[in-house]
């Protein structure tokens, strides 16, 4: 459970409220395993006048007092961790320029400040876990949260170095992780350099390409015997089938006009990176809006009937639903009559599960639907290697993005790309631009 604030008494109260509710069994649907203090959000609404989030990194001693308050509020019943950046830049004092930052900012000085922050916050033994976004936070000026996610350069080496210098603490790397292969490469890099990352935090990339992370158990936990009882779907056909049954059930329980778009959005990126994925998302968008479109057409049909504007009985007749006694006499303005008339507009329409599966078959074919998790992962790696080979020979590369689209990578973007070669295998990804 992440908390935000700069007042120790309020954070103490917030932690106490959750602890008391949890101990009394009032939070059965919200069983958090730890409490976290946000020292990384660069949003002007947070780090500006309210002076918390990333702004807290200015005063490590104050942060230590805040985590103590959280710890005491929860009566020491839960671990307390800190989410932060690698440093700060005051854009109100000096406008931020990435080029100037890279040319003039001392990497050693920046790391020394980060190390002091970690030492101070962890000094009393309460905090042992840090989740670190490996960019500075630019505060003030015209920088938006989106700018802060992509313009300041990533410095993973700072987090890797912390892991080496503080082996008794746990560090989770965050920021710019776009694929499972990249996450695995960073974990292995830490080990090869004599350190150990506790993990890698992935947010937007996981939402943008969920199937790309479906092999996390196999790739990251190579020696762990998997539990066959987990019943993980072997391919995306089964994912759609299982999810489709859930979606149909939800539409039977509630108004499709209200629930369809959220239901469809949940699987919009299931085929991210595949050819025609954009066309698939466009068709899903049309499917999501179909209930509302059909209802509008039905209403228009009602309006075109003689007398429809004055009697709810004619309205119900047009929808093939008998009006209730409560609806009679209310006229066109009686919304209850409209609600009772609705059920007929979707008669004869295919179920949502059928629509989604048909769209997937049409745009991707049976081979993609039946491709296993590991086959999908291996193909992704193979496609990346081929992209790097083509780029090395000066041929424009068609690259798969985290969002599932495709783009031609030009020479002017070469400075945003890093390449790692290990054992003859190229692991490449975009450090910037897809964040």
Helix, strand and coil content of the chain, in percent to the nearest 5, comes to: 50, 15, 35
Strands (E), 307-411: 397-400, 406-409
Residue 119 and residue 64: Cα distance in Å, rounded? 10
Structure tokens at 75: 């009566």
Tokens of 261: 């778009």
Residue 39 is a catalytic residue: no
Separation between Cα atoms, residue 370 and residue 372, nearest integer Å: 6
Residue 119 neighbours by CB under 8 Å, 6+ apart: 60
Catalytic residue among 41, 51, 84, 267: 41
Q: Which of 384, 414, 390, 389 is nearest to 402 (CA)?
A: 384
- φ/ψ of 372, rounded to 5, equals -70, 170
Question: Residues 6 or more apart from 199 whose CB is under 8 A from it?
Answer: 172, 173, 187
Q: What angle separates helix 107-121 from helix 156-165, to the nearest 10 degrees?
A: 50
Contact between 185 and 420 under an 8 Å Cβ cutoff? The reply is: yes
Question: Which CA distances in Å does 223 have to 28, 181, 226, 230, 234?
Answer: 33, 17, 9, 17, 20
**Class of residue 359 by CB neighbours under 10 A (exposed 0-12, middle 13-18, buried 19+):** buried
| Six-digit token string for 90 | 């005051």
Q: Which residue has the tokens 């000066």?
A: 394
Contact status, residue 56 vs residue 67, Cβ threshold 8 Å: no
CA 209 to chain CA centroid, nearest Å: 9
**Could you list the active site residues?**
41
């Amino acid at each position: 459970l992440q908390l935000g604030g700069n007042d120790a008494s309020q954070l103490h109260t917030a932690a106490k409220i959750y602890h008391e509710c949890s101990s009394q069994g009032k939070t059965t649907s919200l069983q958090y395993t730890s409490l976290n203090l946000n020292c990384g959000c660069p949003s002007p609404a947070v780090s500006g006048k309210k002076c918390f989030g990333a702004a807290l990194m200015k005063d490590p001693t104050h942060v230590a007092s805040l985590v103590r308050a959280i710890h005491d509020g929860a009566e020491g019943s839960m671990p307390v961790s800190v989410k932060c950046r690698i440093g700060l830049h005051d854009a109100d004092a000096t406008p931020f320029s990435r080029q100037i930052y890279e040319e003039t900012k001392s990497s050693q000085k920046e790391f020394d400040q980060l190390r002091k922050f970690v030492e101070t916050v962890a000094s009393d033994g309460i905090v042992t876990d840090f989740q670190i976004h490996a960019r500075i936070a630019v505060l003030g000026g015209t920088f938006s949260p989106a700018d802060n996610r992509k313009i300041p350069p990533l410095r993973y080496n700072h987090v890797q170095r912390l892991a080496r210098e503080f082996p008794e603490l746990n560090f989770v790397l965050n920021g710019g992780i776009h694929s499972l292969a990249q996450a695995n490469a960073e974990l292995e890099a830490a080990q090869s350099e004599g350190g150990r990352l506790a993990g890698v935090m992935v947010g937007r990339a996981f939402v943008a390409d969920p199937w790309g992370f479906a092999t996390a158990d196999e790739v990251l936990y190579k020696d762990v015997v998997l539990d066959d009882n987990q019943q993980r779907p072997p391919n995306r056909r089964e994912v759609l089938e299982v999810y489709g049954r859930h979606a149909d059930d939800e539409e039977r329980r509630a108004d499709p006009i209200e629930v369809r778009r959220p239901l469809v959005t949940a699987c919009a990126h299931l085929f991210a990176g595949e050819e025609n994925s954009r066309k698939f998302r466009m068709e899903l968008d049309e499917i999501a809006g179909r209930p509302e479109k059909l209802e509008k057409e039905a209403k228009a049909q009602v309006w075109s009937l003689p007398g429809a504007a004055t009697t709810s009985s004619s309205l119900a007749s047009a929808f093939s639903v008998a009006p209730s006694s409560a609806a009679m006499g209310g006229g066109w303005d009686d919304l209850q009559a409209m609600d009772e008339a609705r059920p007929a507009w979707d008669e004869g329409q295919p179920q949502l599960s059928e629509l989604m599966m048909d769209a997937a078959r049409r745009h991707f074919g049976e081979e993609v639907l039946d491709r296993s998790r590991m086959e999908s992962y291996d193909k992704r790696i193979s496609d990346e290697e081929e992209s790097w080979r083509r780029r090395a020979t000066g041929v424009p590369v068609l690259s798969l993005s985290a969002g599932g689209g495709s783009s031609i990578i030009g020479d002017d973007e070469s400075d945003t790309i890093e390449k790692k070669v290990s054992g003859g295998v190229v692991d490449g990804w975009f450090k910037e631009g897809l964040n």
